Structure 1
Amino acid sequence: MSSNQVNSQPEMETEAQAAVDVEVEPEVLSRASVASSVEETAPSTSQSPSGKSTEAPLTGCVVRIKRELQDIRKNPPPNCSADLHHGDLLHWTAGVNGPVGSVYEGGHFRLDIRFPASYPFRAPRIRFTTRIYHCNVDSRGAICLDVLGERWSPVMNVAKVLLSIYVLMSECNPDDPLVMCIADQYKTNRREHDKIARHWTKLFAMTKAQDKNREKDADQRNEQNQEESSMPGQQGN
């Protein structure tokens, strides 16, 4: 091989890399997020005889995520929300309100969502960033949820997963726990479990204004119950 051919090889690789950058930049993606997502989840790359990368393009992933973002902004699922984190298409933040009647009622729980470059063929990585006392959520916020694991399929989307998380907050699954001690407490001492879960909700998932409003509503309900119990005809014969 001549010296000219040897010297031209780095130039060909540089041109190939520039071509890849040109394809990604118009999508307004964070370079750091793209790099980390591709590094973690994308299939291995190889070089074609021309020296250009044969890595699968991000186009399909980008189009899918943009469509989901548009849909969730226009029609957010009940008690849930989601949007970009600092304008990064592959990194979202989401919120789920504590279900009414549950130990998480009144709380607003934040979640972090990271999309792999192979989305939707691989599930997004979703974790709680708000602390929650739940047997299916560990101290790092990781969630034990089948639709984020073996039951994931490309027909799923972020909106459906957020609704599944909302349901999981209403009905935990102590038979498939991520935190065994909380699951055991849920089964053997439900009163203590609920007391701690409510305390954590108040401590980590409520603002002071939310806490005051909740206490005010509770006081009003107590006063109403006392008035009803003191009315004539309310006592049993």
Structure 2
Amino acid sequence: MAGSSQQKALSRIAANRLQKELTEWQLHPPTGFNRKPTDDLQRWIIALDGVPDTIYAGEHFELQVEFPEHYPMEAPQVIFTKPPLHPHIYSNGHICLDILYEAWSPALTVSSICISLLSMLSSNTVKERPPDNDRYVRNCKNGRNPKDTKWWFHDDKV
């Protein structure tokens, strides 16, 4: 696959699951999200608009979702390519949200991840980076996968 040389091809189970999710997305996309058309089932680019009456109203963001070979048994890698200022989103686009890591469940879908991210953004009241942003980003150079990071979920209110 072009652009995914480091990724292993999807298993048959993963490809079938993603095709099913894509069909469902096309029929009932989550409100506020728009998947950009692509030929690569393994990498989705999703545009998202800030919710009206929140601090992100009128802003536009973009997510990149890369699916591993054994999806949904393994979580996808989800990053913001255009990250909002948020206490749980690093300037390199990495997201501190437990369902993307140790709290992942195969029952979760791309749509449910999007809804969780929208909720995380909508409930935020302060536009700021995480307190450890600079140190974290410095330690993630060379495009390190956020799933390789040991997260310390220091705030479970958001």
Q: TM-score range by the shorter chain?
A: 0.7 to 0.9
Can you give the 5+ residue segments of structure 2 that lack an aligned partner in the other structure?
A: 134-158
Residue 21 of structure 2 contacts residue 109 of structure 2 at CA under 8 Å; is this kept in 1? yes
Partner of 2:16: 63
Deviations 1:7-45 (A, max 9, x none): xxxxxxxxxxxxxxxxxxxxxxx2652x52229xxxxxx
Task: Write the mapping of 1:180-191 to structure 2, written as runs, cut at 5 A.
Answer: 180=131
Whichever structure has more helix as a proportion of its residues is 1
TM-score by length of 2: 0.75
CA distance in 1 between counterparts of 2:19 and 2:50 reads: 27
Q: Give me the whole-angstrom Cα distance separating, in 1, the residues matched to 2:75 and 2:125.
A: 21
Q: TM-score, normalised by structure 1?
A: 0.51
Larger Rg: 1
Letter of the 1:167 counterpart: S
Distance 1:143 1:173 in 2: 17
1:38 aligned partner: 8
Q: Any gaps of 5 or more consecutive residues in structure 1?
A: 1-29, 40-56, 183-237
Output the CA distance in 1 between the equivalents of 2:119 and 2:11.
32
Q: Say whether 1:179 aligns with 2:137.
A: no
Aligned to 2:137: none
How has the CA–CA distance of structure 1 residues 115 and 178 changed in structure 2, closer, same or farther, with 3 Å as cutoff? farther
Contact 1:112-1:129 within 8 A present in 2 as well: yes
Structure 1 segments of 4+ aligned residues over 4 angstroms from their partners: none
Looking at structure 2, the residues matched to 130 and 155 of structure 1 have their Cα atoms a distance apart, in angstroms, of 27
Quote the offset at 1:181 in angstroms: 6.5
Q: Is residue 82 of structure 2 the alignment partner of residue 130 of structure 1?
A: yes
- Distance in 1 (CA, whole Å) between partners of 2:62 and 2:123 is 19
Shift of the 98–31 alpha-carbon distance from structure 1 to 2, 3 Å rule, reads closer
- In 2, the alpha carbon distance for the partners of 1:178 and 1:105 equals 18
Higher relative contact order (CA 8 A, sep 6+): 2
Q: Give yes or no for contact 2:55–2:125 (8 Å, CA) kept in 1.
A: no
